């Protein structure tokens, strides 16, 4: 167990089930959407688009969307779903310098991606490069206390862990990290946090997945963040800091 899960191997199974999975459809997605501004007429990057649900939603609500994913299989699935209504790109969300110019986007949305990435400092610097001054970042990721029973060598130490996802029939590998490993590199990249959300699961989830509701009511699985790029942010040495 040395690297996070390779989604190319499970893309079709994942795409077939994710839209109906209660934790995603009735918990993660509503909480993420609640943090978004009006996206009509905005340039938006869906960073780690998977099979394209968010890119589809953004395009349907009037955004100009570029969706990117490191999985070729996911890029193909997203392209089929979007049918030309958004540009879908194969690439590393932490390094898109050969694909996208700086100051391209008003908003970056990233749903349940960061826990698969080893170096968040690199990722947040790249997203700061891609955002225009004052641009917004909205992301969800696994909560720092997710799988709290596995905290060895302890909460403050990031670790790559493995978890069985019964709905997918797959052992998944991802990073569990403390909250500071999100907030410190975010600030260093020139972002200020506007909101951190830990939503209570709703009644719709309680009806559809009672056991999941009870678990999420006691212990959150995900954390949701909205941050804004400071006007004078200068996250990378190669980016001139001219001020605004």
Mean pLDDT of 126-135: 98
Asked whether the predicted pLDDT for residue 38 surpasses 90, the reply is yes
- pLDDT band at residue 242 using 50, 70 and 90 as cut-offs: very low
* pLDDT tens digits, 201-217: 999 999 999 999 999 99
Asked whether the predicted pLDDT for residue 241 surpasses 60, the reply is no
166 burial type by CB count under 10 A (0-12 exposed, 13-18 middle, 19+ buried): exposed
Asked whether the predicted pLDDT for residue 243 surpasses 50, the reply is no
Q: Is residue 157 part of a domain?
A: no
Q: What is the CATH number of the domain that holds 105?
A: 3.40.50.150
Q: How many domains does the chain have?
A: 1
Asked whether the predicted pLDDT for residue 2 surpasses 70, the reply is no
- Least confident span in 105-109, 157-161, 214-218: 157-161
- For the chain, the average pLDDT equals 91
* pLDDT tens digits, 9-24: 888 888 999 999 999 9
The tokens describing 134, both together, are: 């004052």
CB 76 within 8 A of CB 54: no
Distances in Å between the Cα of 46 and the Cα atoms of 56, 83, 121, 157, 207 are 10, 16, 19, 29, 30
Q: Is residue 162 part of a domain?
A: no
The H or E element containing residue 72 is: helix 72-82
Q: Is residue 164 part of a domain?
A: no
* pLDDT tens digits, 66-104: 999 999 999 999 999 999 999 999 999 999 999 999 999
Q: Is residue 170 part of a domain?
A: no
Q: Is residue 174 part of a domain?
A: no
Q: Is residue 113 part of a domain?
A: yes
- pLDDT band at residue 238 using 50, 70 and 90 as cut-offs: very low
Residue 30 belongs to domain spanning: 7-145+179-227
Name the residue among 53, 48, 45, 43 with its Cα closest to residue 21: 53
pTM (2 d.p.)? 0.92
């Amino acid at each position: 167990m040395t690297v996070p899960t390779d989604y190319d191997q499970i893309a079709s199974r994942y795409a077939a089930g994710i839209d109906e999975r209660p934790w995603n459809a009735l918990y993660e997605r509503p909480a993420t959407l609640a943090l978004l501004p009006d996206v009509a007429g905005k340039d938006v990057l869906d960073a780690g688009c998977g099979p394209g649900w968010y890119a589809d939603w953004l395009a349907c609500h009037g955004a100009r969307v570029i969706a990117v994913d490191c999985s070729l299989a996911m890029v193909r699935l997203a392209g089929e779903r979007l049918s030309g209504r958004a540009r879908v790109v194969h690439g590393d969300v932490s390094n898109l310098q050969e694909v996208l110019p700086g100051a391209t986007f008003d908003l970056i949305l990233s749903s349940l991606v960061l826990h698969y990435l080893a170096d968040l400092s690199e990722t947040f610097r790249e997203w700061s490069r891609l955002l225009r001054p004052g641009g917004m970042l909205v992301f969800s990721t696994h909560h720092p206390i997710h799988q709290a029973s596995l905290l060895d060598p302890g909460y403050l130490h990031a670790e790559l862990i493995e978890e069985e996802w019964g709905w997918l029939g797959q052992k998944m590998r991802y990073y569990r990290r403390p909250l500071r490993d999100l907030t410190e590199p975010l600030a260093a990249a020139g972002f200020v946090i506007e909101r951190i959300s830990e939503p209570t699961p709703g009644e719709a989830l309680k009806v559809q997945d009672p056991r999941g509701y009870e678990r999420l009511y006691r212990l959150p699985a995900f954390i949701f963040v909205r941050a804004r790029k400071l006007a004078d942010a200068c996250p990378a040495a190669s980016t001139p800091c001219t001020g605004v």
